[in-house]
Amino acid sequence: MGKSKIINTATCDARCVTEDSLAGFDNITINSALLIVGERSKELLNQYPVTMNVATIVEVPDGQDIAVKSINGKGEIGPDADGTGVLLMVNGKVVITDGSREAVKNYYRIMVNGKVLMPKSYEGQFSNLQVNGKAEYYPDGATILKTDTRIDDLFISRAANSLYYCSGNLFFLDTGIDAEAIASKGFRFAAKKVVVAESLTNRLVSMIDEEAKIVEVPDGTRLIDDDLELKMKTIKKYGPKLCVTGDVSIKDAEALASLEYLFADGTVSVNKELEDAFDEIESVYDELRIIDPNLGYITDRPIVKVGAVMLRKYPSGVRVEDCAKVTLSKDLTPDDIMEKLHIEDCAVVTCTKEQEEAVSMISEDVARIKITGQNPEDEEDEMVAGTFGSFLGKLKDTQMINAVEYKM
């Protein structure tokens, strides 16, 4: 096998590629979210054995001085941003602040893989903005708050603006809050969801944007800004009425018996023997998951192997979810698979030809079912670390580059 080169990168700038840099390889593979080329470099890449696994290709005119800048995570574009001659690549979230219309237009191009948040009046205004994900709009002139924000008297006393926007949840839980001060200052709030204590609702409803979903909770409900495993110490610290910004796990019967109200902005997981008791509790949640202790549950794993021993361990069967690669042992019969296994949201399931039909019956949102032995070259785990490391380890004379940004 000849000399190879593999490039794994978020942004690959190939504008300055030369014949000498390409001619030394029998094959070149580019795995990239963004490939930047010029007219000359595009022709060169087409002349050589180059394989491009690329989400987006941007062609920049030859001779035009375009700088490439990247943001990985969260970024902001304000009125003073200098984007002239800049191709901005954002992998994450970017906030475009009020008054930044011209600053955004000055960028050569802005490409967002994730989420962009901008004023409502900017919608459809930017031909140079490409969003692969979600665009969200906030009221012009609003101050942007963090995703989950609690409004209390301290917030009111420090507030300098009159209009506030929250892309997540706003909490008005303190029944002693000075509602008159809020009204006198002319405050308005916009949010995806507003969680408000019942006795405050009538006083605050006129200040809340009509598009926001309002959830009333009992007076005395306390906020826990995190995931939660419910225990008696939780009740003793916060009381029997809880408002949780994340997921909630309930395994403690005594703690559940003391709980009076639960709001959860996430999934509530309840042990099966506590299901009836939980049904008696007033609650609001995104999703309810009943946990059967006799059911095996495997999630968020890069590699999982399921065999007969594992299925015998759990009388109610095994659920495998959100895993990259699932391999079934040859000792599993089709009946075992049909009766005791469920696979969901996994990329690849490897099984024998005899198991294939049963696997297809019990699988949901599985990208690929791979049959053992059909293609020996596929037997290596090509998904480890996203770099095809096991497969590449067998190749000689291979140059591999892993980088956030790479210039050819």
Strands of the 129-138 sheet, one edge to the other: 67-77, 86-96, 109-119, 129-138
Single-letter residue type at 223: L
The CA-based angle 207-208-210, given to 5 degrees, is 125
User: What pLDDT, on the 0 to 100 scale, is given for residue 89?
Assistant: 87
Mark whether 276 and 211 lie in a shared domain.
Answer: no
pLDDT band at 382 (very low <50, low <70, confident <90, very high): very low
Which residue among 251, 272, 291 closes a domain? 291
pTM, rounded to two decimals? 0.67
Which of 137-151, 341-355, 365-379 shows the lowest mean pLDDT across its residues?
A: 365-379
* 228 and 210 within one domain: no
- 284 and 301, same structural domain? no
**C-alpha span between 312 and 321 (Å, rounded):** 19
β-bridge mates for residue 243, sequence order: 223, 263
Q: Within a domain: residue 67?
A: no
pLDDT at 383: 45
pLDDT at 21 over 70: yes
Residues 113 and 152 in one domain: no
In a domain, 8, yes or no: yes
Q: Provide the number of structural domains found in the chain.
A: 5
193 within some domain: yes
User: Which residue from 286, 287, 297 is spatially nearest to 343, judged by alpha carbons?
Assistant: 297
Average pLDDT over residues 206-221: 93
Name the domain boundary from 217, 240, 262: 217
SS3 52: strand
Q: How far is residue 23's CA from residue 35's CA, in Å, rounded to a whole number?
A: 20
Enter the DSSP assignment of 122: G
Query: What gap in Å lies between CA 370 and CA 347, rounded to an integer?
Result: 10
Q: What pLDDT score was predicted for residue 355?
A: 95
Question: Structural domain of residue 240, as residue ranges?
Answer: 222-291
Q: Are residues 27 and 49 in the same domain?
A: yes
- Inside any domain, residue 174: yes
Predicted confidence (pLDDT) at residue 40 exceeds the cutoff of 50: yes
Identify the domain boundary among 217, 247, 274.
217
Residue 162 and residue 199 in one domain: yes
Given a cut of 80, whether residue 379 has pLDDT beyond it is no
Question: Is 280 in the same domain as 320?
Answer: no
In this structure, the answer to whether residues 130 and 148 fall within a common structural domain is no
Whether residue 276 is found in the same domain as residue 301: no
- 287 and 300 both lie in a single domain: no
Flag whether 165 is in a domain. Answer: yes
Residue 374 domain-assigned (yes or no): no
Q: Is residue 358 part of a domain?
A: yes
Residue 92: pLDDT over 80: yes
Amino acid at site 43: E
pLDDT tier at 399, thresholds 50, 70, 90: confident
In a domain? residue 237: yes
169 pLDDT more than 70: yes
**Cβ partners under 8 Å of residue 62, min gap 6:** 38, 39, 40
